[in-house]
Amino acid sequence: MKVLITGISGFVGSHLAEYFLVQKNCEVFGTIKWRSMRDNIVHIEKQIKLFECDINDAFAMKMMLAEVRPDYIFHLAAQSYVPFSWRAPQETISTNVIGEVNLFESVRELKLDSKIQIAGSSEEYGLVYPEETPIKETNPLRPLSPYAVSKVAQDFLGYQYFKSYGLKIVRTRAFNHTGPRRGDVFVTSNFAKQLVEIEKGMRRPVIYVGNLNAVRDFLDVRDVVRAYVLALEKGEPGEVYNIASGKGIKIKELLDRLIELSGVDLKVEADPARLRPSDVELLIGSPEKFQKATGWKPEIPFDKTLKDLLDFWREKLK
Ligand code: A2R
């Protein structure tokens, strides 16, 4: 079986590649940009086949797909960072939306029979009222950032290409996920990195934070990766599924748990630069539909995820 992961050098892509490398009879292919950092995949680089392919380049996309002809495509390549999407709305929309159109059009023109997973996000729900939680897939989408709008477009394009051309597309909307290798611009990893820098005496004992009141539904990336695989194995093409734990945690509580796990003594200070123009306050998803379709359940306790994240930074900052 041939598995293609776009954005393989990213956080989720590297974990998904690891998942498939231990399965039998799997060949793993991945796309990177020519300047992509390879830190996340150096340990597996010899076992995977890499293609330089900017997804904005329709020709590069088509040539790569013509060569690989994958059975499964996990489309993870994206401008994935919400705050950056305000500073670079055009790049965010172009990479996320046009990049996906390039993928779908190539699959169509090459008449590939690939199953395709589209990595949507809980950010698509955006503004959510307390009585709407846990959020079902049928909830209105009220996106609050250019990133979220780009993910809504990706999601609906997936639906449209399924309906119009019968492409075997399964859409997922993953709620927050974290774990080793999470980029340090994301809240959990940012806190963990600051804590480890304090542990190592690399900075004074002050941790800088943004909005601590937001409530999020967190999963371990390794549970999310299992969910993406099940989405293609057991999910229905044309359908959309939440990947969520069903439980909420306040960012303040997450910070307290990390501080406790680290054991360092420090002060917490607000940093206004870390606040967003419009923040999503409450995101708790209902995993019911996905669990019914696939039997998936998160398996990794959140304290283990946080501990592994701290250990990742301890190793990286050696
Ligand atoms: O920017 P790089 O060199 O780090 O590569 C990122 C890649 N990527 C692209 N690949 C090809 N052509 C592009 N124009 C392009 N722009 C970005 O996508 C990186 O390897 C990957 C995204 O990885 P992360 O930023 O670590 O995101 P993560 O957390 O793995 O999320 C995977 C998917 C994304 O679609 C998110 O929006 C969604 O799950 O939540």
From ligand 1's centre to the CA of 245, what distance in Å? 23
Determine the 3-state secondary structure of 136 from DSSP: coil
The pLDDT score that the predictor gives to residue 282 is: 86
Identity of the residue numbered 147: Y
The pLDDT score that the predictor gives to residue 155 is: 98
Number of Cβ within 10 Å of residue 58's Cβ equals 16
Residues 39, 67, 162, 101, CA torsion sign: positive
Strands of 2-6's sheet in order across: 49-52, 27-32, 2-6, 72-75, 115-121, 168-174, 240-243
CATH class in words for 2-177+220-243? alpha beta
Estimate the crossing angle of helix 221-234 against helix 11-21, to 10 degrees.
Answer: 60
Question: Is the link from the previous residue into 134 a cis peptide, with omega within 30 of 0?
Answer: yes
The pLDDT score that the predictor gives to residue 273 is: 82
The pLDDT score that the predictor gives to residue 274 is: 79
From ligand 1's centre to the CA of 202, what distance in Å? 29
Determine the 3-state secondary structure of 62 from DSSP: helix
Q: What is the CATH number of domain 179-216+247-284+299-316?
A: 3.90.25.10
Decide if 313 contacts 196 (C-beta within 8 A).
yes
Residue 311, token pair as written in the block: 């250990």
Q: What distance in Å separates the CA atoms of residue 231 and residue 75, rounded to the nearest whole number?
A: 13
Q: Can you name the residues that pair with 241 across neighbouring β-strands?
A: 172
Number of Cβ within 10 Å of residue 299's Cβ equals 10
Q: What distance in Å separates the CA atoms of residue 37 and residue 17, rounded to the nearest whole number?
A: 16
Q: What are the pLDDT tens digits along the chain (318 aa)?
A: 999 999 999 999 999 999 999 999 999 999 999 888 999 999 999 999 999 999 999 999 999 999 999 999 999 999 999 989 999 999 999 999 999 999 999 999 999 999 999 999 999 999 999 999 999 999 999 999 999 999 999 999 999 999 999 999 999 999 999 999 999 989 999 999 999 999 999 999 999 999 999 999 999 999 999 999 999 999 999 999 999 999 999 999 999 999 999 999 999 999 988 777 767 788 999 999 999 999 999 999 999 999 999 999 999 998
For tokens 């990706």, what's the residue?
A: 154
For ligand 1, atom 19: residue with the closest CA: 10
Max CA pair span of the chain: 59
From ligand 1's centre to the CA of 265, what distance in Å? 35
The pLDDT score that the predictor gives to residue 147 is: 98
For tokens 């390794």, what's the residue?
A: 222
Q: What distance in Å separates the CA atoms of residue 302 and residue 3, rounded to the nearest whole number?
A: 29
Question: 266 to each of 213, 251, 303, how far by Cα in Å?
Answer: 20, 17, 20
The pLDDT score that the predictor gives to residue 272 is: 84
Indicate where the chain has its CATH 3.40.50.720 domain(s): 2-177+220-243
208: buried, middle or exposed (CB in 10 Å: 19+, 13-18, 0-12)? middle
The pLDDT score that the predictor gives to residue 172 is: 98
For ligand 1, atom 21: residue with the closest CA: 7
The pLDDT score that the predictor gives to residue 275 is: 76
Q: What distance in Å separates the CA atoms of residue 99 and residue 104, rounded to the nearest whole number?
A: 9
Give ligand 1 pocket residues (Cβ under 6 A): 7, 9-13, 31, 33, 36-37, 54-56, 76-80, 95, 99, 119, 121, 174, 183
From ligand 1's centre to the CA of 130, what distance in Å? 31
Identity of the residue numbered 86: W
Q: What distance in Å separates the CA atoms of residue 103 and residue 95, rounded to the nearest whole number?
A: 11
